[in-house]
């Protein structure tokens, strides 16, 4: 196998991300925008869960959540995170690291309003990550909100979005016999430096 065949290019990492995501949207059977989000508490205890990417561009990668959930509390206490996209069908992954900032209320309102009505009701009814005595309690809360608001339930003030501003973006391709290919982009001023890493 030629050493440079299908090499990950030293190019604009956001354009490369767009290309890989577009290819994943054609091959992944469910949620090609799913990503693992790793956060840590103020004392450094890590946790990770899957969330959905809901916006991206040169300013960063956006997801939405209940800011009173475990991840929301960790973000408030330690506003740095790591993301991982793993597209098994393509044998590719992308790791992204950087600080987090909350999106504007207007942006959170607009995204909340774009969600399916049932998803809006479910989010507004949930005390995410807190103990729940029975599923019936949660469903009853959904129904109470439906009776009060119909499909027009407003965005709860604690339901918001966060943008990760990347400082490091690593692209990885699975190769035969674990001779994988990795390229790391590191923010440098207003641009990026890039280099290959041993697998």
CATH code at position 81 = 2.30.110.10
Residue 51 phi, psi (nearest 5): -135, 175
The answer to whether residue 116 sits within a structural domain is no
> Residue 1 pLDDT > 90, yes or no?
no
Assign 157 a pLDDT band (cuts: 50, 70, 90): very high
**165 versus 176: which is more confidently predicted?**
165
Answer yes or no: is 24 within a domain. yes
Strand partners, 173: 92, 181
Q: Is the pLDDT of residue 141 over 90?
A: yes
| Residue 92 is assigned to a structural domain of this protein | yes
Asked if residue 102 has pLDDT above 70, the reply is yes
Higher pLDDT among residues 84 and 7, named by residue: 84
Domain presence at residue 122: no
Instruction: Report the domain count for the chain.
Output: 1
Is 129 a member of any domain? no
Q: Identify whether 143 is part of a domain.
A: no
> Cβ(62)–Cβ(162) under 8 Å?
yes
Closest CA to 13 of 96, 91, 80, 87: 96
Helix axes 135-149, 117-125, angle to 10 degrees: 120
Q: How confident is the model at residue 150 (pLDDT cuts 50, 70, 90)?
A: confident
| % residues pLDDT > 90 (the chain) | 89
* Residue 173 counted as domain residue: yes
pLDDT at 6: 58
pLDDT tens digits along 18-72: 999 999 999 998 999 999 999 999 999 999 999 999 999 999 999 999 999 999 9
pTM, whole model, 2 decimals? 0.91
- Known catalytic residues are 178
Cα separation, 91 vs 97, in Å, equals 21
Confidence class of residue 118 from pLDDT cuts 50, 70 and 90?
A: very high
Tell me the residue range of the domain where 31 lies.
13-110+158-197
Is residue 4 included in any domain, yes or no? no
């Amino acid at each position: 196998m030629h050493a440079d065949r299908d090499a990950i290019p030293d190019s604009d990492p956001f354009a490369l991300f767009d290309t890989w995501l577009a290819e994943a949207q054609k091959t992944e059977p469910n949620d090609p925008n799913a990503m693992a989000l790793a956060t840590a508490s103020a004392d450094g205890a890590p946790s990770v869960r899957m969330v959905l990417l809901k916006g991206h561009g040169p300013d960063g990668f956006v997801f939405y959540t209940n800011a009173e959930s475990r991840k929301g509390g960790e973000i408030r206490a330690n506003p740095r995170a790591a993301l991982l996209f793993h597209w098994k069908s393509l044998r590719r992954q992308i790791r992204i690291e950087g600080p987090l900032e909350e999106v504007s209320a207007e942006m959170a309102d607009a995204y909340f309003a774009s969600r399916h009505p049932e998803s809006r009701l479910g989010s507004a009814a949930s005390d995410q990550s807190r103990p729940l005595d029975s599923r019936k309690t949660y469903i009853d809360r959904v129904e109470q909100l439906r009776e009060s608001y119909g499909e027009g339930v407003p965005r709860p003030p604690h339901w918001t979005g966060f943008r990760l501003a990347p400082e490091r973006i690593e692209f990885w391709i699975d190769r035969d016999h674990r001779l994988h290919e990795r390229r790391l982009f590191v923010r440098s001023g207003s641009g990026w430096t890039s280099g290959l890493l041993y697998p």
